[in-house]
Structure 1
């Protein structure tokens, strides 16, 4: 979203850890999911634009830091108990195959009426590598190369069907136009994928791609592939420079800089001036919005702290335009819907 759109964007990671009262009761699985649904609805009501659904492919050393549900399944489940909030599932580009990921994310986008997003995880994890018969020492450059090709394959698979491929016309008896189905036939350095995908084109065309940029390599990759770029907490002047760097690199890659939303990580610390500082950063064009990072501590208290800040930010920026009713995540963020890569008539 460009600053000219005038609306501040808020993301946060959905806390899925059980609350203090969960204990180890026999119904803790269903009970915990009910609480996660409640947290998602509370975030939606507080004005959060999208929830980051954390995942990993190995057991966390501290179980409290591990995901409580698989992210793609959780996105599909939350699609039916929320109405407006975006659902951004983490996907490992090292340990997931593109065709599988494309099906999961397309399904989530259809189930949510266009609210799905995904975050490619490109980091090294020796424990995950051991779970997937993969080398445990892969260079950062090789991981970035695989991630970039992964994205190319996914977007190609999502374009397997033209938007108007399914006519479903009872009068003419034409259900589907075969010429509007396209095989991918991708052959690359990391993947050979024939296609086509066996799911219709997602409502958003392509689910929103969210990428976290910690290093220079991440920033360059994000400028090429991402719709939303998450950057670490910075002082006010550094934040503005990082945002402009992302936009410059996007322009160098042939993209419109306004087609990328840059969000600054903000630790939630309970400061009474926190909402005012975020609005000042936004007004100074230091960021298009913020990822609210929950404080350490019990799950319920951490969640409540994020919701309180989000609601306060929305209250104080009441003059900003509202997100369109029943909007897709792309529409909510002011991002364009990608056209299909194939032109047919």
Structure 2
């Protein structure tokens, strides 16, 4: 039976017009989809029809796109979108089984607020909530929260670790059967099953308890995407799903084995962590058709946007004065996403790319693996990574929406199913059940 064999996990990374930086300019794209609930509802239902484990919403606390003036900003798409927890709460009542993952930062919200919001989403969805933990990486976000610059890399992760201790402690405020609702005796809950956190640390002082019952999943599933040494160590300590970016199988295998070793070093079971690299699939009924689709998207990349995207991936380092047809110069690492900066540098050096070639090469996957081909060819690559310790599944990043997700669900999923790699029906109702993850037990009272 399916429940007894290892299946490939699938997430749908939903950026309203599509993941390609120029997707909003495509004739089939829903350019204003970021604030169109019906658009998201239809996308999530498509992913649920494809029996995906979850949908994944990225987020930033402000416009993170680098721009010098309003004219430059006007060339970018995807600068407006719903707040993800609000959106997923609405989507919870239009879907039945698929997991609902939202990004939220530990740098610019209090842990009590976050714990309550995700516990509420877990209740509203019947146990399908997941939190993608980020520390935020741009000064643009910091300026919306009374700071000129973000905290440095080490400080962000130090705060995040304490944040996690508070949030998970709050999720354990009540035991599963703490509430009696006994009208006759007048007892609303059993006081022996209440756990007061009373946390006092360097960054937070939080007494608790959380003013909502324990989430259906015990804890919503925790996702983390950091690939720097700090990020990997954080993931090894806390994450249940690790979202990552790799260009080839050898890189993926090294990360996969390394993160499992780190998980074990933290005293956790590596088999209770799912590694899901991002994949950017361009699908055609023939290889030539797929290549034509990709080429058409690449032609839509505005040079201003392409250079801005590269600037963002390099940690907001200004390269506007560098010759576009020359090599990427040696640049210092910044306080942005260290792992993504290193990945882009490595790509530029290993492939001998000019700045212009580099920004065009990252316009689609932005460091994630780009797979161009027929459904069989795309399935071949996913199967190879899955069977050879490169991944437990994939976060699928459709180039243009809705077409790219439709293509994957209608063409690639049936091929994966034919190979016995994905489910033919949902076996459980919660995201933890989809992912094969255990439900955390409430912590005993101290």
Question: Relative to structure 2, which stretch is displaced further, 164-173 or 70-79?
Answer: 164-173
TM-score (normalizing by structure 2): 0.70
Q: Is the 8 A contact 1:126 1:137 kept in 2?
A: yes
Q: Which residue of 2 aligns with 1:316?
A: 418
1:335 paired to 2:437: yes
* Cα 1:67–1:244 shift into 2, 3 Å: farther
Q: Which has the larger radius of gyration?
A: 2
Deviation readout 1:19-51 (Å, 9 max, x if unpaired): 968688xxx898x21121011000111121111
Structure 2 counterpart of 1:279:
383
Q: Return the alpha-carbon distance in structure 2 between the equivalents of residues 332 and 60 of structure 1.
A: 33
Q: Partner of 2:325 in structure 1?
A: none
Pick from 229, 233, 243: which aligns with 1:220? 233
Paired residues of 1:243 and 1:287 also in contact (CA < 8 A): yes
Instruction: Out of 327-336 and 3-12, give the one that drifted further.
Output: 3-12
Cα RMSD between the aligned structures? 2.5
2:281 aligns with: 268
- Give the structure 2 partner of residue 185 of structure 1: 198
**Offset at 1:181?**
1.4
Select the residue among 392, 396, 407 that pairs with 1:292.
396
Q: Which secondary structure does the structure 2 equivalent of 1:220 belong to?
A: helix
- The structural deviation recorded for 1:314 is 3.8
The Cα offsets for residues 180-210 of structure 1, whole Å up to 9 and x where unpaired, read as: 1121111111111111100000000110011
1:42-53 map, 5 Å? 42-53=46-57
Instruction: Decide whether the 8 Å contact of 2:103 with 2:132 is kept in 1.
Output: yes
C-alpha separation in 2, matches of 1:259 and 1:99: 26
Matches within 5 A, 1:105-254: 105-169=118-182, 174-254=187-267
Corresponding pairs, count: 336
TM-score normalised per structure 1: 0.89
CA distance in 2, matches of 1:310, 1:48: 12
Structure 1, gaps ≥5 residues long = none
Name the structure 2 match of 1:8. Answer: 8
Distance 1:23 1:114, change over 3 A: closer
Q: Which runs of 5+ in 2 are unaligned?
A: 18-23, 66-72, 284-372
Residue by residue over 1:292-323, the C-alpha shift from the partner in whole angstroms, topping out at 9 and shown as x without a partner, is 1222xx53334434434652454333365556
- C-alpha offsets along residues 76-133 of structure 1, whole Å, 9 cap, x if unaligned? 1111001111100110111111111111100000000000001112132211111111
Change (3 A) 1:337 1:22: closer
- Maintained 8 Å contact 1:10/1:289: yes
1:307 corresponds to 2:441: no
SS of the aligned residue for 2:143 comes to helix
Please give the secondary structure, in 2, of the residue aligned with 1:179: helix
Asked if structure 2 preserves the Cα contact closer than 8 Å seen for 1:263 and 1:287, the reply is: yes
